[in-house]
Chains A and B, each alone.
Chain A
Amino acid sequence: MKIGVVVFPGSNCDHDCQHVFKDVLGQYVEMIWHKETLLAGMDAIVLPGGFSYGDYLRTGAIARFSPVMGAVKEFAKKGGMVLGICNGFQILLEAGLLPGVMLRNKSLHFICKDLSVKVENAATAFTGACQSGQVLKIPIAHADGNYYTDPVTLAAMQANAQIVLRYCTPEGKVTPEVNPNGSLDNIAGIINAEGNVLGMMPHPERCAEAVLGNDEGKLIFLSMLEALKGNKKELKMVGA
């Protein structure tokens, strides 16, 4: 598979994503500078974590106008698979590829630690290798992960199983106490109605090989590859 990892000025998880896809999973990876306007031949696009444009104005607010984002929108519109991690998620929100917005963490702290997230929907192209309800230990590292959207949009996402990952206890209980940032409904990751664009705050690329002591994040990337190959258990794309 050909995976494109977009590099914005200030991206800092781009090489981690490249490493996982290339060295851990043996895929072809192309680093795509934000000035590019074509994504020819790519099977999936990753918007990595970091601090694009220094998080000036709002997280993701300036990156969304990068030349490459026109191509990413076009790619997504045609059904192309797009994964946004952390700052990548924030950019997807600002670009309107996913609904809602990120507010400052309720505690105002930058939080960097391992957390448990529950796979609420294992029938997506990004979670197909997981079991429904499976708890993954994945680190977060952000100051703006307090997801917010209006009640109507939230209800629609809940009804449509678009809330894919939620913060939970290690046993899988979704409680307000384990919500690290004030995120609405403990949201850690959401997918669009068409099922081809996922944004998540936790960093699966930081825990995708055993040598790091945790490879649970690898399931996200494996799911994508399996979905791309189309040889997995029947994929029920949300909303399709």
Chain B
Amino acid sequence: MKAKIHVTLKQGILDPQGKAIEHALDSLGFKNAGNVRVGKYMEVDVNETDKAKADAAVKAMCEKLLANTIVEEYRYELQ
């Protein structure tokens, strides 16, 4: 199965990259853009056919390495 994983800073944590992009969008005239958050996107092939097993494995990967849960949150989908 393939896991598609998104890791972003939690709401409330200052995201300097997001702010910089927000300002750039604003100065380009995109006045309707706001609250830009920058994150990471990862794809991982998980060698499991059982969805529950794959789900447990990806969750463990996120908790242990892929996200620092003090300041980051993660979500993923399995296909």
A57-B65, A57-B66, A61-B65 known; A104 and B71 CB under 8 Å? no
Q: Is the CB of B16 within 8 A of A105?
A: yes
Q: Is the CB of B70 within 8 A of A101?
A: yes
A100-B70, A148-B71, A149-B70 known; A106 and B65 CB under 8 Å? no
The number of chain A residues with a CB under 8 A from chain B is 19
Q: Is the CB of B65 within 8 A of A150?
A: no
Indicate which residue in B16, B65, B68 contacts A108 across the interface (CB closer than 8 Å).
Answer: B16
User: Which B residue's beta carbon lies closest to that of A182?
Assistant: B14
Q: Is the CB of B16 within 8 A of A107?
A: yes
**Interface 1/0s, chain B 58-79, versus A by CB < 8 A?**
0000000110101100000000
The number of chain B residues with a CB under 8 A from chain A is 12
Chain A residues near B20: list those with CB within 8 A.
108
A108-B20, A149-B70, A150-B70 known; A103 and B65 CB under 8 Å? no
Please name 17 pairs of A and B residues whose Cβ atoms are closer than 8 Å in the assembled complex, sorted by A. Answer: A57-B40, A57-B66, A58-B68, A61-B68, A62-B65, A94-B68, A100-B70, A101-B68, A101-B70, A101-B71, A103-B9, A103-B71, A106-B14, A108-B16, A108-B20, A146-B16, A150-B70
B13 interface residue per 8 A CB criterion:
yes
Chain B residues near A106: list those with CB within 8 A.
14, 16
Chain B residues near A65: list those with CB within 8 A.
65
Query: Which residue numbers of A lie inside 8 Å of B, CB to CB?
Result: 57-58, 61-62, 65, 94, 100-101, 103-108, 146, 148-150, 182
Chain B residues near A58: list those with CB within 8 A.
68
B17 interface residue per 8 A CB criterion:
yes
Q: How far is the CA of A182 from the CA of B13 in the complex (A)?
A: 12
Q: How far is the CA of A188 from the CA of B17 in the complex (A)?
A: 22
Q: Is the CB of B70 within 8 A of A104?
A: no
Q: How far is the CA of A114 from the CA of B14 in the complex (A)?
A: 26
| CB neighbors of A among B13-62 (8 A) | 13-14, 16-17, 20, 40
Q: How far is the CB of B5 from chain A (nearest CB, A)?
A: 12
Chain B residues near A57: list those with CB within 8 A.
40, 65-66
User: Which A residue's beta carbon lies closest to that of B69?
Assistant: A101
Q: Which of A57, A65, A100, A106 has the most CB of B within 10 A?
A: A57
